[in-house]
Chains A and B, each alone.
Chain A
């Protein structure tokens, strides 16, 4: 019970998680290719969720050490005013207002 904490090294982390994350990147690439291949691709690419996803991909490169939080914030509603009603509303995964603010 008193064994010392022996944290992994970064090369060990790379070794342990590389294959599964390689697969995840390919899943994202395949998802984007699928949109390109199907009818209505221009409409889908113009939609706010697609645009939000594109911004997150840039953050993967531009936010070393804080990528996860930066992506979470980029997808979030940053406002503070309550909605007048929630009837018929659901969460979609990205904040539509970001597109209008040019974020």
Chain B
């Protein structure tokens, strides 16, 4: 089968992972800008990182026949530092204009603090001014419900942003219903320990339907699996779902959402 991984952090993965993904059927990926596992000291670090996302990774992926796209943004874990945020916001447009950048992301909240919210509002305003697609990171664990609600309230208060052009990621059982009801796309993340499993993701497909859902690995430097979207597709298949539905969730849906950016083409 063919699958798109709409959220994977290939800067943290080995070249062997690109090969495994290519021979397994993942020929298109999208990589959001994220937290590196440590707080960066200046906007220059982000300039280098955005260069890596827009130049180095597409070239590394192309060696294996994989199309690599990215999202540009300042993650919420580094948003407490307002001076850093201001400096990073100033350089973002230069990189969003690059040919494989699909929009602003992953931006959102981490601990639901006032500074995180202020920086998110600035990035959403930038997205609205430029009519960019938006990829939202929702908080982890006990903070997810509160943060998801705050984020949705902020976005829906800006009439310039069409919720059909926003994907709210890392959704779980207690947030999916509200996200769908408010008109957004939602993402489910497959993490072996701390997020969802393939079984729970396909439960969500069965409960909420195949519309406006994207499933991703979010594979990065932590415990994660770059082939997890294919394992999840296999979970859907072994429950008897038809290939057409499997293809919709794992290929057509991410293609539809990401394809709202004219730069995007799927293999």
A10 at the interface (CB under 8 A from B): no
Chain A proximity of B193: nearest CB distance (Å): 11
CB contact list, B131-187 vs A, under 8 A? 139-146, 149-150, 172-174
CB pair A5–B113 under 8 Å, yes or no, is no
Determine the distance from Cα of A93 to Cα of B111 in the docked complex, in whole angstroms: 12
Known: A3-B242, A5-B245, A73-B174. A86 touches B142 (CB 8 A): no
Nearest neighbor of B140 in chain A, beta-carbon distance: A91
B243 at the interface (CB under 8 A from A): yes
Determine the distance from Cα of A5 to Cα of B114 in the docked complex, in whole angstroms: 48
Determine the distance from Cα of A90 to Cα of B112 in the docked complex, in whole angstroms: 11
B contacts with A: majority SS: helix
CB contact list, A1-17 vs B, under 8 A? 1-8, 16-17
Determine the distance from Cα of A48 to Cα of B110 in the docked complex, in whole angstroms: 21
CB contact list, A44-103 vs B, under 8 A? 68-69, 72-73, 75-80, 82-87, 89-95
Determine the distance from Cα of A94 to Cα of B145 in the docked complex, in whole angstroms: 12
CB pair B242–A80 under 8 Å, yes or no, is no
CB pair B200–A85 under 8 Å, yes or no, is no
CB pair B174–A1 under 8 Å, yes or no, is no
A contacts with B: majority SS: loop
Q: Which of A4, A77, A85 has the most CB of B within 10 A?
A: A77
Which residue of A8, A77, A83 is within 8 Å of B239 (Cβ)? A8
Inside 8 A of A68's CB, which chain B residues have their CB? 173, 200, 203
CB pair B245–A76 under 8 Å, yes or no, is no
Chain A proximity of B183: nearest CB distance (Å): 21
Which residue of B116, B149, B174 is within 8 Å of A80 (Cβ)? B149
B115 at the interface (CB under 8 A from A): yes
B117 at the interface (CB under 8 A from A): yes
B130 at the interface (CB under 8 A from A): no
Nearest neighbor of A89 in chain B, beta-carbon distance: B111
Nearest neighbor of B206 in chain A, beta-carbon distance: A7
Chain B proximity of A57: nearest CB distance (Å): 17
Chain B proximity of A17: nearest CB distance (Å): 7
Known: A75-B142, A77-B145, A91-B140. A82 touches B242 (CB 8 A): no
Q: Which residues of B are in contact with A by a Cβ distance under 8 Å? A: 80, 110-117, 139-146, 149-150, 172-174, 199-200, 203, 238-245
Q: Lowest 9 A-B CB distances belong to which pairs?
A: A86-B111, A72-B174, A86-B113, A76-B145, A91-B141, A91-B140, A83-B113, A95-B142, A6-B240
A-B contact pairs, 18 of them (CB 8 A): A1-B243, A4-B242, A5-B245, A7-B239, A8-B240, A72-B172, A76-B144, A77-B143, A77-B146, A80-B146, A85-B114, A85-B115, A86-B110, A91-B111, A91-B142, A91-B143, A93-B141, A95-B142
